[in-house]
């Protein structure tokens, strides 16, 4: 941003001080300095999800953090995102502050990666042998730094601050990796000042639900329903997840 443009932006923002809050002013300044929400950080290495985040922040004229605010059945989306972040080729490290004590790091690995008593060949058990929504390997899990503070804004805020200090100055085993950011679970309404790079709670602009399964056809008999229940169960088991918002949705499968 050159001097003339900076002067113009500064004058416009100063003229809005009486009309907006300090937080709104800082958000507007961040948007102008980074060249707009299309360049939001941290980068989400899932193109469709990154596009939704960019469109949302552009629509509401906001700037992160958080880059995502997730509600509904949000854990599957967090597992999908964190697994993608810590796996090849991205190899990030991630902090998760979980005030609900529900985040299970073993869910970051695809089911096919877990040892099977019937298959000793590792080629059958590697999640990277095909496209997976959960591509992390067991060795990647050490790069997820999980904090479980007591519920309460002060406790969550203290945990986020402690995690940030540890990631920057601590002698941890992830120093060779880039720190992507912090996921905060259970931060309350709008985070109430506790802002992770991703916030998850009962209120958020990106809502996660199961994909809908079509109901039985009109007029189907009980006998027909029972006969087809095996096929229907396969359809149910194959349903994925939908993260929906005012600017679009994203679908992924539990594979």
Q: What is the pLDDT of residues 196-208, one digit of tens each?
A: 999 999 889 999 9
Does this model's pTM top 0.95? My answer is no
Q: Which residues pair with 147 in a beta bridge?
A: 97
Predicted local confidence at residue 71, as pLDDT: 96
The total of other beta-carbon atoms located within 10 Å of residue 57's CB is: 22
Give me the percent of the chain exceeding a pLDDT of 90. 53
Residue 171 vs residues 141, 159, 166, 174, 213: alpha-carbon distances, Å: 17, 18, 8, 9, 48
Nearest alpha-carbon partner for 77 in 53, 99, 60: 53
Q: Are 87 and 223 in contact (CB under 8 A)?
A: no
C-alpha distance from residue 2 to each of 6, 30, 60 (Å): 6, 16, 26
Regions of the chain with pLDDT less than 50: 5-9, 11-21, 23-38, 116-129, 190-191
Predicted local distance difference test score (pLDDT) of residue 243: 96
Task: Determine the Cα angle at 120 with ends 119 and 126, to 5°.
Answer: 80
């Amino acid at each position: 941003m050159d001097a003339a443009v900076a002067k113009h932006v500064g004058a416009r923002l100063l003229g809005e001080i009486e009309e907006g809050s300090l937080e709104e002013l800082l958000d507007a300044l961040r948007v102008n300095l980074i060249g707009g929400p299309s360049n939001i950080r941290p980068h989400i290495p899932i193109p469709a999800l990154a596009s939704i985040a960019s469109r949302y922040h552009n629509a509401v004229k906001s700037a992160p953090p958080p880059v995502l605010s997730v509600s509904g059945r949000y854990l599957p989306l967090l597992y999908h995102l964190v697994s993608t972040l810590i796996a090849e080729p991205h190899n990030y490290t991630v902090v998760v502050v979980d005030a609900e004590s529900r985040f299970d790091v073993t869910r970051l690995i695809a089911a096919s990666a877990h040892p099977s008593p019937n298959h000793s060949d590792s080629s059958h058990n590697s999640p990277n042998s095909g496209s997976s929504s959960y591509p992390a390997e067991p060795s990647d899990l050490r790069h997820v730094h999980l904090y479980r503070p007591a519920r309460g804004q002060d406790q969550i805020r203290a945990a986020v601050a402690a995690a940030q200090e540890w990631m920057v100055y601590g002698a941890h085993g992830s120093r060779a990796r880039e720190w992507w950011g912090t996921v905060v679970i259970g931060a309350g309404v709008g985070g109430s000042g506790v802002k992770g790079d991703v916030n998850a709670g009962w209120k958020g602009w990106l809502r996660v639900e199961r994909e809908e399964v079509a109901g039985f056809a009109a007029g189907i008999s009980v006998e027909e329903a029972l006969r087809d229940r095996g096929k229907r169960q396969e359809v149910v088991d194959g349903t994925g997840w939908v993260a929906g918002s005012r600017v679009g949705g994203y679908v992924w499968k539990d594979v």
